Amino acid sequence: MKRSTLTALALATVLAGGSAVALGPIADAQSQQSQSQQPGQHPDRAAFNPSRHIEGRIAYLKAELKITDAQQPLFDAVANVMRDNATAMGAAFQGLHGDRNQPQTALARLEARAKLAQLRADGEVKMLAAFRPLYQAMSPDQQKAADQMFEHHGHGHFFRR
């Protein structure tokens, strides 16, 4: 596979808010976690935590964009927004599921979806405010890399979670 295809696949995984392909100890830990779920719980949803791999996503972004020492303060602002957005989404998802033993009404589910949509939109605005100065301080090659990261995915899932 071409390097660009591999990069795109890895980015797609990250942008979707998922973890990279689970290998070795990670797969074992996920398997053990799934086995400890309550009956009737969907294991993927029960284990979902938007901030779970945020530091890895931040490190990936820094490496792919080849952030320089001079750009580090601007990148730190982006990283902090990524962390804050992930924490906010984590709290929202926790609240969304509430008491898993109580059935949710259609109205409650729609209210939760609206809240998450607003949280995502607010996170995108914060990300844009933090990312714009970094992007403007990047070299043309760095900007091209950033452009390619967003080319197929168009929106900031990468930064949000």
Both tokens assigned to 142: 């760095």
Give the model's pLDDT for residue 19. 35
CA-to-CA separations, 142 to 89, 124, 136, 154, 161, in angstroms, rounded: 28, 21, 10, 17, 22
Do the beta carbons of residue 12 and residue 157 sit within 8 Å?
no
Higher pLDDT, 45 or 58: 58
Average pLDDT over residues 24-38: 40
d(CA 13, CA 1): 16
Instruction: Read off the pTM.
Output: 0.65
Helix %, strand %, coil % of the chain (to 5): 70, 0, 30
Quickly list H helices, 37-71: 43-47, 54-65
Higher pLDDT, 121 or 49: 121
- The answer to which of 72-86, 108-122, 133-147 has the lowest mean pLDDT is 108-122
pLDDT, mean over the chain: 73
Average pLDDT over residues 14-35: 38
d(CA 86, CA 88): 5
Both tokens assigned to 25: 């100890």
- The answer to which of 28-42, 70-84, 92-106, 121-135 has the lowest mean pLDDT is 28-42
pLDDT above 90: percentage of residues in the chain: 42
